[in-house]
Amino acid sequence: MSTKFLREEIDAAVDALLLQQVILYPTDTVWGLGCDAEAPQAVDQIYKLKQRPAEKACIVLVADEKMFARYATTVPPNLTELLAAQQKPTTYVVPGSRLLAPNLLAPDGTIGLRIVRDDEFCQKVVRRLGHGLVSTSANVSGEPSPAVYSDVSKEIVRGADHVANWRQDDQTRASPSRVVRVLPDGSLEVLRD
């Protein structure tokens, strides 16, 4: 696919996000539903589409350590080293900041943040948006996560305001991210490997 096509797809996704719409897009792991992490009404729309309980928090993709710090009230002091050592996309569960849509936070006030490093589409969408990008698997709650576009149900495709036309033919099967909770002493508790 051409650089021009990639740029057009990024522009279309960002335009939808700026209108506080829900997008269906390929993430650095599985296919996901996303919206601006600071738009509570768009977050509500995702929960309705997924038929997901409101107390189940979503992940937020961020562009870099600076954006990570924007959305975390506590940043792991060794975040740079953790990122350098990670073998696969890793989501860090930390106390969330007030800049996030309140309905994104878990009941204990935490949020899962993942710095997108190895996916050009997601990286550029998040940078252009300038806000965190909600990332939750594009499936009805309780159903399998869609590793490829063809796994996404028609119900989810119809329910999204914008469907990215990027990597729809890619059959590379990805798996969800590793999820770790950052404990007060800076150590990690693995929640999903």
CA 106 to CA 112: how far, in whole Å? 9
The three-state secondary structure class of 61 is: strand
If one counts the domains in the chain, the total is 1
pLDDT value at 2 more than 80:
no
Query: Which of 29, 26, 32 is CA-nearest to residue 9?
Result: 26
**Residue owning tokens 């190895």:** 118
Structural domain range at position 39: 3-192
For 45-67, what is the mean pLDDT? 92
% of the chain at pLDDT higher than 90? 75
**Residue owning tokens 């936070």:** 105
CATH code for position 101 = 3.90.870.10
pLDDT in tens, 86-137: 889 999 999 999 999 999 999 999 999 999 988 999 999 999 999 999 999 9
Res. 1 pLDDT band, cuts 50 70 90: low
Per-position DSSP letters for 78-135, written without gaps between them: THHHHHHH-SS-EEEEEEBPTTS-GGGS-TTSEEEEEE--S-HHHHHHHHHH-S-EEE
pLDDT in tens, 140-154: 998 999 999 999 999
